[in-house]
Structures are given as C-alpha cells and as structure tokens.
Amino acid sequence: MIAIFRHTISRSKVQILAWGLGMALLGAYMVMFYDNLMGMQDTIQQMIENYPKELVAFVGGAEGLFSPGGYINSYIFSYLPLILGVFVILAGSGLLAADEESGVLDLLISHPISRTRFFLGRMLGFSIALGAILFIMWVGFVAPMGSSGLNVPALDMAFPFLSLFALLLLFATLGLLFSLLLPSRSSAAMASGLVLVVSFFMSLMSRLDESMEAINRFTPYGYYQGGEAINGIEWGWFLGLIGVSIVTSILSWWLFLRRDIRITGERSWLSFLRFQRRKSAGVNA
C-alpha cells in the first residue's frame, strides 16, 4: 500500500504545486485587496444594489459582503468548489480508470498487492494531495493576513478550507464511483461534473427563492459553508459530507474488488448497456 501511496503522491506533485501555489497567490491577493475594497464600500454598495439579484446570488449574496466571512465567501469560496471541482472530478474519475484505460493497471495489479491495499493506497494518496493543495492555499491566505484589515485568525481561516475539503472529497469519490459504474472515465467525469454544476445552481436558486432551500438540502452544496465557516464550522455538515464520501468510497472499493480489470481502453456503451440488460434479466454473465 505504501508503494502505491508514494507513487500516487509522486505523480500528483506537479498538480499539488500548480493548483496550490496558483490558488494561494489568488488568496493572498484577495486578502490584501480587502482594505481597498473597504475604502470603496459606499460605491460598491450602490453598485450592488443596481445589480440583478441573480448576479448577486452568484457571488454568494450581498449580505455581510464587507464582513470578513462575507468577503471571503463572495470573492473566493462561493465559486472555488467549481474551479477545484474540475480538478477533483478528473482526479477522482481517473484514480483507477485512468490506469485501466491506459493499460498500466493490468500490469500493476498482477503484482503481489491486494486490490484493497491498492485502492487504499490510491485513496489515501489522493486525499493527502488534496489536503496539501488546500494547505498551501491556506498558507497563501494566512501569510498576508497581518498586513490586512481582514485579520482573521489562522485557525478560524482553516474552517472554510475544512468545509471545502469535505465538499471536494465528496465530488472526487463520486467521480471514482461513476468511473467504476460507467463504461469510461470521461463519462464518469461528465456525470460527476453534471452533479457539481446542478448542485451549484440549486444553491444559487435557493438564495433567490427560499422555497428552493428544501431541494438544496438534497445536494452536496447545501452542506457547504464556504467563507462563512470562519464564524464557526457546522461540524454536522462537515461530518455529513465526509460520511457520504466514505460511503461512496466503500461502494467504489466493493465494485473494484469484483471488477474484471480490462487490458486497456474503454468499455463500449453497447456492451455496457447489454450487460445491464442481462443483469436486470437475471442472467449470470
């Protein structure tokens, strides 16, 4: 398991650095921009009042826009899951399927490592890589905090990242699960991406129309606090998202244990649909 874990981390190092440093720079810029924004508070307030309410909802709402939590949420954390979601969905859907489609998994799995250990090595490696990206980002936020009026304590600043980690982990494991259910990695990424986008828009809609909130509660985004978490994290929501990720991972592991590893390439939709039909007809293939 250690060998697979180390290899997973090793092949993610470029992504860790690129995503981590890129987002950390963005975070540092936003933290330092806070004082300028506060200087333009009245002008911006007037502008926002003239914005369509759909646009205001997109940035997380106008309420408390100039408070530290509202600012961080509106300017970064409201859309961060969409940006990093692309990364985690591609990484999650490719965690096993990328190697299977390229034909390397057939060789790796023919070595003396159990599928469970292989799976755990990959999952752990990915989770640590995601944690490392968010940690680098957190450093980017915290480092310039002393020279900014935002002045959020380092520990409080960690909470939005915990909330983000839980949401991203869920989308990654969803990508992984779909990659074991659907015939190809690309279809799994598309399906998970669709859930991400629909979930994001449900969250927007619920800000425009309170009656949508009940539906929003059925989407992962409904349990994402974003920047508001600096005022205190909802541990129930956090653990709920982590719990769903664990269930999704267990389902993926179960499917991986029972899977015939392909030599290379994608499964065809035709054979996939035929297999599903035979399964539903109770034919043992």
Please say which residue, 106 or 156, places its beta carbon nearer to other proteins.
106
CB contact set of 190 (below 8 Å; sequence gap of 6+): none
Backbone angles phi, psi at 268, to 5 degrees: -85, 150
Q: Counting contacts by CB under 8 A, is residue 263 touching other proteins?
A: yes
Q: Counting contacts by CB under 8 A, is residue 107 touching other proteins?
A: yes
Which of 44, 48, 106, 234 contacts other proteins by CB under 8 A?
106
Q: Counting contacts by CB under 8 A, is residue 215 touching other proteins?
A: no
Q: Counting contacts by CB under 8 A, is residue 276 touching other proteins?
A: no
Helices marked H in 59-181: 68-72, 80-102, 104-109, 115-142, 154-181
Contact code string over 3-42 relative to other proteins, x by CB under 8 A: xx-xx---x-------------------------------
Contact code string over 52-91 relative to other proteins, x by CB under 8 A: ----------------------------------------
Dist. CA 96–CA 105, nearest whole Å: 8
Instruction: Return the closest-CA partner of residue 182 out of 273, 114, 258, 250.
Output: 273
Q: Counting contacts by CB under 8 A, is residue 113 touching other proteins?
A: yes
> CA separation (Å) from 155 to 34, 70, 142, 213, 231?
19, 17, 9, 30, 11
Dist. CA 91–CA 173, nearest whole Å: 9
Q: Counting contacts by CB under 8 A, is residue 156 touching other proteins?
A: no
Q: Counting contacts by CB under 8 A, is residue 114 touching other proteins?
A: yes
Binding site for other proteins (CB under 8 A): 3-4, 6-7, 11, 102-104, 106-115, 258, 260-261, 263-264, 271, 274-275, 278, 284-285
